[in-house]
Structure 1
Amino acid sequence: MKITYILFIALCILLFPYSILAERPSLQAMIDEAEAGGTVMIPPGYYEENITIDKPLSLIGERDVTINSCENAPVVTIKSEGVQLSNVLVEQCNEDNGDLAAVYVTGGQHHLSNLEIQSSQMGIQLFEANQIVVEDSAIMGTRKENGIDLWKTNDSTIREMKIDTILDGIYMEQSHRNTIIQNVIENARYGIHLMFTDDTTIEQNQSQHNFTGAMVMEAQNVLIKNNDFSFNNQNVNSQGLLLYLTSDVVAENNLFASNRVGAFIEDSSNATIANNIFQSNTIGAQWKNSSDNSLVSNTFSGNVNDTQANESANNIIKNNYWNAALKLDIDGDGVSELPHAADPYFMALVQRIPEYQLFFQHPGITLLKQVFNGPEDELLRDLEPSMVYSGSEDGQKNDKQIILWFVGVVFILVSFIFIQKWRRSL
């Protein structure tokens, strides 16, 4: 009799598995039943549903928790105040609505962490939300929409995110006093994109392999510090940093390496570009219709053209290190007595004869720059160039090679003149 009972139970499980699984409550039911201010621990599992959290609540996945939805609604909607969402994989598979976010957040004082978001559209949207923390998570997109989108969202922090294959990595519009720190953003149009946004801090981010590392437009009082804007060269208009119609921006201690343009400053004023490294870019820093800015104590090394300007006046340029400059420090104060004019001569030459790119950093080109000047309005003059190099060893090696080549050429010319005079004396 006992064996018959066991066989009957086993047969029921095999024939009616869905009725057994149906006993597990939906995730939304668990949320609805929880008290405000409580905690819901999500059991491991694959949840195919959309959820809405509209009260203060902590929703934490125990392990291996996936929330999936292909519906025309966010996979996760967060409202109210004081919601915590953590340790969850969010899968969005909707292909119809381009404005749809996998995680939609409004309200305030929410905390999102340890999330993995695989989005067919937008990753996270913060809509009129304040005092939000999004951290230690990953977003993988399809280049259709933004990774994290902020609209009228203030006093929030986005930290330690990994964002890949999206339209814009972090997009902010009419959002103020936010901090973007220690994020890694790759394969985007703009890694970080600010529009009509003030008092933003962008610090210790790595924005690489994008069309543009960061674009700051119509913004004021922005601090851009200790970031790595490198390898942003996928488009003819690519740059590490683009400042457009900005004022009072400070960009300091950043690395601009292997971009088409390291930093492009257009129609901007009162920008301070200081203590940055511009290395191995096609153009290090480019200015257009910009005045009353400062370029101070930067390092320019191994760029095809260090800097050029167009209709830009009253800019302070001093104490920069130029590896292409002739240097002479007589009194040992670390400042060269020879003023340096950053001349786009080589760029103009290459535009006329592209094959001359083969002679980049050739000592002959360096000598030609000293003889023939580019257009006067495109010259930037550093009257007090620095002797102190602060870039990588490769850049320093290039600088030493140029000096050695120059000394070698001078030595050969002097030797040739001496030999000619000696022959005539015979």
Structure 2
Amino acid sequence: MTNPRSELAPQLHQQAFSLDHPALSQVLANTENLLIIQDLDGVCMGLVKDPLNRHIDPAYVEAVTAYDGHFFVLTNGEHIGKLGVNRIVANSLGEEIGNRHLPGLAAGGIQWQDRCGQLTHPGVSEAELTFLKSIPQCIETALREFLETVDHGLSPATVTHCINASVLDNGASPTVNLNTFYETLNNPALYRQLQGQMQSLTEALLADARQQGLEDAFFVHYAPNLGQDDQGNEVIWWANETTSGTTDFQFMLRGAIKEAGVLALLNRYYFQKTGLHPLGIGFNARQAPRTMEDMLTLVKQDFDPAHMPLMIGVGDTVTSQAVAQEDGSVIFKRGGSDRNFLQLIQNIGQAFDRGNLVVYVDSSGGELKNRRALQVETQDGMPTVTQGPNDPQDNSDPLILNIVFPGGHQQYCAAFQAGAIARQATS
């Protein structure tokens, strides 16, 4: 293996929308000083309306072991609970997971799990976890009360089914997922009212937390979203006739943002390689700076360039939407739960000259219809991506998607597994 980076990496990081998947597999196989940070839903398993129906390929789980110490997940979902990835992995394997847990950070970056399933919540207090436990019941009550006040035409059994599919009782990031409601109601106007009701609920919960002395302990993550407003709050994507917009309203711990998770994972990776934690042994995502610029400054200040790995970020949720202004100009609202962590990885690569790679998996082929598909056409006899996931008018996005997978999670997993096989053969 090469060190610190594969010779193929500089070629790939200079490209946009590359379909050279064998080249990525070679980088995965041949780079010794490698750090893969990967999202889960839509990346290694398909997006589905009901989270209980998620499935992960056992071959992918086995492939992860080839990257031991070089691979971490970074997800807004959770490791544990009835909706956690551990349950999905166990069901797919049909046996005990053992040392095949997917290591990394969940709940946006504050739930750590190693490959043996040892789990902690770095930087989280018992008071915060106790407050979070009360939220699923609040969500269920709010949904039932809303449905009692509108003409929805659903039977009591259907209402119960939709609520059960929507209330995600995650321990560290309780969520309402409205995918099932969107499909079942089949009424964009009524669904927008439901979005508004959930937005009001989460705002009330934030106020309640402040009254209990948990000032600035939580925030609300909208997925997908349209970036942030001037106060740093995420912007909801309202549904229209063609898209469900924001489907997930996720109550999360302050600091549980994926880009902060990148710092925590990089800190752990350096410890594995050097025996030292550049940011301190107790560093967690909640201690990270709040802005992307300050995060990058911290990395440049405290991480030894001699040990900086080639980083590969993998995600599927990147949004962009043109918004017309009163003066006739257009601005672009850029968001998506994977955007910022991918951008930080790209920025670190540029700062350290490591040729870091951003990998995008097109999850538009799943059951959820709230993201743009990559457009692929044949040009000069070769398949070529002619339009990415952004608004077609948005040609100035600073995030460059180096390698893309129009075929979705199956196509990505095939390249990931090919890299794993070759990596094991050369180790």
State TM-score, norm by structure 1: 0.22
More helix by share: 2
Answer with 1 or 2: which has the greater Rg.
1
Higher relative contact order (CA 8 A, sep 6+): 2
State TM-score, norm by structure 2: 0.22
More strand by share: 1
